[in-house]
Amino acid sequence: MILASIPSPTQGVWELGPLPIRAYALCIVAGIIAAILITEKRWVARGGAPGDVLDIAVWAVPFGIIGGRIYHVISSPRAYFGEGGDPMRAFAIWEGGLGIWGAIAFGGVGAWIACRRRGIPLPAYADALAPGLLVAQAIGRLGNWFNNELYGGPTDLPWGLKIYEWDGGRAVLDASGQPVLLGTFHPTFLYELLWNLAAAALVVWADRRFQLSHGRAFALYVASYCVGRLWIELLRTDPAEEFFGVRLNVFTSVIVGVLAVAYLFWQRGRPREVIDRGPKEDQPKPVAADQGVREDDHPATDPG
């Protein structure tokens, strides 16, 4: 007997005139805003200039969205290129589906371009970004809840997640007008959401405790996220590309996680870098050593 369960929304899209408002998109936008605010505070505290984070986000966010979509299509190609699939849906980002690994890789390229333009070291910026990125991922997972997607196998645990048959952003209704319930399943979206928040707290604590620098806070983010994503991925039942019967994201989590741990050890012991904000125009310029003093600067004195 199911003693309790977590309800799921029966609608993820609302029509505002001709404009559809999608919960998934709102969650992604909210996550991006949260990441920018958190990173701005951390960046300024580390010596960076106010406004740098927003300027970098202008490059990193579009790159990240494109990369996230590309990875999602590669890792879950059946809906787009399988039997009965529609290749044009690969461009329908508003329907949901962004792969974090593609978002990180392409977003990193965008951030690198912006950092070079502003003379900012990318590893230092990545360290400031790490906790905010985890919070953004946690908020973004709420979009999967609205879409009734990314759940695990069936369960009768008290925190089982109700999942409805879904079509076009809404639950399918039966003859009586009630949503068609498929059953209760492991809420893997919630598992990852909670894991991301715990990992964000870990990165903040470790950064303060060990003065992480040169990309080590970001590497800790990657390593801790990979550990959680590994076991959560093994619970998921949604269609995904597999190799040797194992989901692609499992291989990715293992490989990327090992590389992140190796980077942590490789960069250990390095002192935190000093972030140069550039020349401060509001400060008085120093007087050159050979600049003479005019005679009328001081009253004349009687040499006798």
The pTM score is 0.84
* pLDDT higher than 90, residue 295: no
Q: What percent of the chain has pLDDT over 90?
A: 65
Per-residue confidence (pLDDT) for residue 111, from 0 to 100: 97
**Mean pLDDT comparison of 89-98, 218-227, 278-287, highest-scoring range:** 218-227
* pLDDT higher than 60, residue 48: yes
* pLDDT higher than 50, residue 282: no
Q: Could you tell me the pLDDT band of residue 277, with boundaries at 50, 70 and 90?
A: low
Spacing of C-alpha 50 from chain mean position: 21
Q: Could you tell me the pLDDT band of residue 36, with boundaries at 50, 70 and 90?
A: very high
Q: What is the domain partition of the chain in residue ranges?
A: 13-270
Least confident of 28-37, 58-67, 238-247: 238-247
212-264: per-residue pLDDT in tens?
999 999 999 999 999 999 999 999 887 777 777 788 888 999 999 999 999 99
CB 221 within 8 A of CB 188: no
152-181: per-residue pLDDT in tens?
999 999 999 999 999 878 999 999 999 999
CB 197 within 8 A of CB 188: no
Q: Map tokens 């908020």 to a residue.
A: 139
Per-residue confidence (pLDDT) for residue 292, from 0 to 100: 45
What are the backbone dihedrals phi and psi of residue 70, each rounded to the nearest 5 degrees, phi first? Answer: -60, -45
Per-residue confidence (pLDDT) for residue 3, from 0 to 100: 53
CA angle 137/133/7 to nearest 5° reads: 20
Separation CA 199–CA 278 (nearest Å): 33
CB 192 within 8 A of CB 232: yes
Largest CA distance in the chain: 115
Mean pLDDT of 101-129: 95
Which residues lie closer than 8 Å to 21 by C-beta, 6 or more apart? 13, 14, 15
Q: Could you tell me the pLDDT band of residue 142, with boundaries at 50, 70 and 90?
A: very high
